[in-house]
Structure 1
Amino acid sequence: MSESSFTISDDWNALYIDGEWVEPGDRDELGVENPATRERVTTVPAGTEDDVDRAYDAAVAAQSAWADRPADERAEVIERAGELLDDHRDDILEALAVESGSANTKAFAEWQTARGMVDHAVGFADDLTTETSDSMIPGKTNEVQRIPKGVVTVISPWNFPFNLSMRAVAPALAAGNAVVLKPASPTPVTGGLLLARIFEEAGLPDGVLNVVTGRGSDIGDAIAGHPDADVMAFTGSTEVGKRVASKAAENLALPAMELGGNNPFVVTEDADLDAAVDSAVFGSFLHQGQICISINRHLVHESLYDEYVERLAERAEALPVGDPRDRENVVGPVIDESQRDQMLAYVEETVEAGATLETGGGHEDLYVEPTVLSDATNDMAAACNEHFGPIAPVIPFSDEEEAVELANDTEYGLAAAVHSGDLDRARDIADRIEAGMVHVNDQPINEEPHVPFGGLKDSGIGRYDGREIFEEVTTTKWVSVQEETREYPF
């Protein structure tokens, strides 16, 4: 591979194991397409179970020495990685546009959040501390050490590949762990190999970060259930996450799961309608709705309902759709045919069930039209399922009790938002919604590196970001010192 290149046009056809770029050899190869043009962007190796074992062997061998490094040396590597994100920002934005269909607003937000996570993670290098306390036993001192878990496995998705890999990788490394990273097959560069290049250039020792590309159907179970994994950090669908968590639990690896969502957006009768529609457009159509925390259902008071639907449809129709490399475009392509066909099937089923198609519902290749559905109910396909597309089913409610009931009528509990002219009322509704994250007079697509991120119910286990991610990738160790001879009763 060419030295110090961070562009999507570079040769990325290698695994990264034990500090070496491993050429495909006799492995199968996976083509990576630009969803906007269907052109092949690059090719990567289809890793094997032997590659997975080698990656874990390297991680285990390298972890102790990395954890033993002085905190300032680990912090320096993380800081340098952050500087490389700055230096190569434009390359990263282009790679996200080309590989994942990310329009500029989304790509920049992804880079910005990842950059913030790197800054936040730097402090974790100093947090492997020891606290001393007295003992109930005379002459004894207790010490509680915070130590790294060991080897952290990261399986990241294709929708926000760079950020959702970085938010696990950077804290794990800063805290003295080694990492085995498997990126999603559609985004192996921005979700994995690009991070390997960044941390290699930043001076991370060989073996501390290993990246194995490949099909989940071929190596997913080998990675999720590997006996050398101590933490399993997974972001993806609830269905797959349950399998990953089960495999990890067989080896007592801690599952950190951020899974699916069906996120309600509640608009009360006293809401600022202009502000609510502005939020709704962003929260439904950013990155074509392919975001676990995007708005899945619009719950709108019946007194505002007709005007809300009309305004939302007008705004949806006006959104520029096209190749995300053109910065004027807001809506790009969805990732592949299977995702497109599933979301369009939900729309068709919803209309057949009695909803009205206000706008959209069609597609040109992988470009799905921003779609607004009125007369929807909570049990229609586009509402009860995580549609993961640029689709906005709008459901009326008559009072606050019904709004809360509708919002909670789902197995998911990831994110939500409430718009109201009365902040106390909005806070009350927010407190009653069963979700791990609720935003008042905003929309649900929010992530801040210093604030815990995660869901309730079938939306996951554990938390990313904040102090919580540090606690996921570290554990405590109790060491007691008997400084005076202890007297025993027998």
Structure 2
Amino acid sequence: MTDRSFTTDGDWDALYVDGDWVEASSDETIAVENPATREQIAEVPAATEADVDRAYEAAAEAQASWSDRSADERAAVIEDAIGLLDDHRDDILELLAVESGSANAKAFAEWQTAQGMCHHATGLAGKMDTETSDSMIPGKENEVQRVPEGVVGVISPWNFPFNLSMRAVAPALATGNAVVLKPASSTPITGGLLIARLFEEAGLPEGVLNVVTGHGSDVGDRMASHPELDVMAFTGSTEVGKQVAASAAENLALPAMELGGNNPFVVTEDADVDAAVDSAVFGSFLHQGQICISINRHLVHESLYDEYVEKLAERAEGLPIGDPRERENVVGPVIDEGQRDQILEYVERTVEQGATLEAGGDHEDLYVEPTVLSDATNDMAAACNEHFGPVAPVIPFSDEDEAVELGNDTEHGLAAAIHTGDLDRGHDLAESIEAGMVHINDQPVNEEPAIPFGGMKQSGMGRYDGDEILNELTQTKWISTQTEKRDYPF
């Protein structure tokens, strides 16, 4: 590779292993398409298990010396990466638009959150400290060190590829780990190669970050089961996440799993309907609903139901649809045909089950219309499944007990939101809903670098963000010193 640019015209035709841009061990490649136009924008290598092995070996070799660097030295590399994020913001936004179909609001939010993750990570570097404590044994001194886990494997998804890779990579590097990153095959640039280029330019030592692009079906098992792996950070579906976690656990690697969601949005009878609809439009249709924390089900009190449905449908029909590079467009394309067909199947089955199509329901190529379904129930296809599309099934409830019962009637427990005129009531409802994150008078698409992020039930294991990420990426080590001769009972 000779071109180290950050643009769509840059060279993205190599893996990043041990500080070099290298060819894969296979001649096979993956075409990267712009979902808005179906034009090919790049061709990346299809890595093999041998390439994954090379990446893990490089990471294992480089990790100890990286961990020996001071906290300030590790933080300085990430700070330099933040500077590059600022310098190349427009290029990154363009890449997110053409590779993942990200409209401007979503692309900017993703860039901004990734930047925030890096800022937070610089602080984590300074929390790799040693604490001392008293001992119950005379003459003994105890210290507890926080040390890196070692090698962190990251498998990231295609929907928020840049942010959801960076939220694992940046804190892993800050805390002295080395990383092997495999981005989704639909978004290998923004999910992986772009991040390699950022940290290469920021001066990260060779081997500390390695990026392999490839199909999960070819290299996913090796990524999750490699003997050098110490932490497996995965974001994706619950079904695949269980397989990844099981493979990692075979070698006693720690699984850090952020998995699927079926997120309820509860609107109580004293809520401001217009404010609730404002939240609902953003929480259902941002990035075409392809977000693990987007609204999956709208649970609305029966006294407000008709008004809510009418206003939500009107707003859905008015959203501008088209190429995300045009700033006026809010709704872009879904990622591919498989995703589109699954979304439309859920809508069709839900109508067959008795729901009423109030808005949308159609598509043009990969552009799926924002869709509103009334007369829905919790067991209809678009409600009981994580539809991962611009679909809003609206379900009535009669009282708060029913709202909580409906909200919790899912195997998932990732996120939820409540709109209410009574904040105390909102807190009571939030405590009753089985979700790792609940937002009052807002919608569920929220992530903040300093706040723990994760779910309950089948929505994952562990937490990203905040200081909780230290529990995933580091371990404690107890060193005691007996300063006086100890008396033993025998």
TM-score by length of 2: 0.99
How many corresponding residue pairs? 490
Q: Which residue is equivalent to 2:282?
A: 282
1:447-458 alignment runs, 5 A limit: 447-458=447-458
Deviation at 1:167, TM superposition (A): 0.3
Q: Secondary structure at the match of 1:12?
A: coil
Deviation at 1:489, TM superposition (A): 2.1
Distance 1:297 1:85 in 2: 35
Counterpart contact for 2:19–2:207, Cα < 8 Å = yes
Q: Which residue is equivalent to 1:60?
A: 60
Answering whether residue 302 of structure 2 is matched by residue 323 of structure 1, we say no
Q: Which residue is equivalent to 2:441?
A: 441
Q: Which residue is equivalent to 1:193?
A: 193
Query: Identity over the aligned pairs, expressed in percent?
Result: 79
Q: Which residue is equivalent to 1:134?
A: 134
1:465-480 alignment runs, 5 A limit: 465-480=465-480
Deviation at 1:24, TM superposition (A): 4.2
Distance 2:70 2:153 in 1: 23
Distance 1:126 1:396 in 2: 50
Distance 2:277 2:287 in 1: 17
Distance 1:280 1:26 in 2: 46
Q: Which residue is equivalent to 1:357?
A: 357
Per-residue deviation, residues 21-57 of structure 1 (Å, max 9, x unmatched): 0124642101011000000010000001110111010
Q: Which residue is equivalent to 2:265?
A: 265
The 1:26/1:228 distance shift into structure 2, 3 A limit, reads: closer
Q: Which residue is equivalent to 1:119?
A: 119
Q: Which residue is equivalent to 2:248?
A: 248
Letter in 1 for 2:9: S
Q: Secondary structure at the match of 1:393?
A: strand
Counterpart contact for 1:13–1:24, Cα < 8 Å = no
The 1:225/1:26 distance shift into structure 2, 3 A limit, reads: closer
Q: Which residue is equivalent to 2:47?
A: 47
Counterpart contact for 1:27–1:47, Cα < 8 Å = no
Q: Which residue is equivalent to 1:152?
A: 152
Letter in 2 for 1:449: P
Distance 1:57 1:120 in 2: 28
Letter in 2 for 1:411: E
Per-residue deviation, residues 178-206 of structure 1 (Å, max 9, x unmatched): 00000000000000000000000000000
Q: Which residue is equivalent to 1:143?
A: 143
Counterpart contact for 2:415–2:444, Cα < 8 Å = yes
Q: Secondary structure at the match of 1:53?
A: helix
Counterpart contact for 1:415–1:436, Cα < 8 Å = yes
Q: Which residue is equivalent to 1:428?
A: 428
Distance 1:98 1:484 in 2: 67
Answering whether residue 214 of structure 2 is matched by residue 217 of structure 1, we say no
Distance 1:326 1:162 in 2: 21
Q: Which residue is equivalent to 2:103?
A: 103
Q: Secondary structure at the match of 2:107?
A: helix
Per-residue deviation, residues 294-321 of structure 1 (Å, max 9, x unmatched): 0000000011100100000000000000
Q: Which residue is equivalent to 1:75?
A: 75
- Gapped regions of structure 1 (runs ≥ 5): none
Per-residue deviation, residues 394-441 of structure 1 (Å, max 9, x unmatched): 000011111110000000000000000011111111110000000000
Deviation at 1:323, TM superposition (A): 0.3
- Gapped regions of structure 2 (runs ≥ 5): none
Counterpart contact for 1:152–1:179, Cα < 8 Å = yes
Distance 1:241 1:25 in 2: 27
Counterpart contact for 1:320–1:330, Cα < 8 Å = yes
Counterpart contact for 1:361–1:370, Cα < 8 Å = yes
Q: Secondary structure at the match of 1:478?
A: strand
Per-residue deviation, residues 439-471 of structure 1 (Å, max 9, x unmatched): 000000000000000000000000000001122
The more displaced of 16-25 and 205-214 is 16-25
Q: Which residue is equivalent to 2:386?
A: 386
Distance 2:273 2:125 in 1: 46
Q: Secondary structure at the match of 2:334?
A: coil
Per-residue deviation, residues 304-353 of structure 1 (Å, max 9, x unmatched): 10010000000000000000000100000000000100010000000000
Deviation at 1:132, TM superposition (A): 1.0
Letter in 2 for 1:11: D
Deviation at 1:137, TM superposition (A): 1.4
Q: Which residue is equivalent to 1:368?
A: 368
Distance 2:174 2:187 in 1: 24
The more displaced of 131-140 and 349-358 is 131-140
Per-residue deviation, residues 220-277 of structure 1 (Å, max 9, x unmatched): 0000111111101000000000000000000111111000000000001100011000
Q: Which residue is equivalent to 1:405?
A: 405
Counterpart contact for 1:2–1:10, Cα < 8 Å = no
Distance 2:66 2:85 in 1: 22
Counterpart contact for 1:128–1:175, Cα < 8 Å = yes
Root mean square deviation, CA, Å: 0.8
Distance 1:26 1:149 in 2: 31
Letter in 2 for 1:324: P
Distance 1:2 1:369 in 2: 42
Counterpart contact for 1:149–1:177, Cα < 8 Å = yes
1:153-168 alignment runs, 5 A limit: 153-168=153-168
Q: Secondary structure at the match of 1:242?
A: helix
Distance 1:475 1:25 in 2: 35
Counterpart contact for 1:24–1:44, Cα < 8 Å = no
- Runs of 4 or more consecutive aligned structure 1 residues displaced over 3 Å after TM superposition: none
Letter in 1 for 2:478: W
Per-residue deviation, residues 136-171 of structure 1 (Å, max 9, x unmatched): 111110110000000011100000000000000000
The more displaced of 126-135 and 106-115 is 126-135
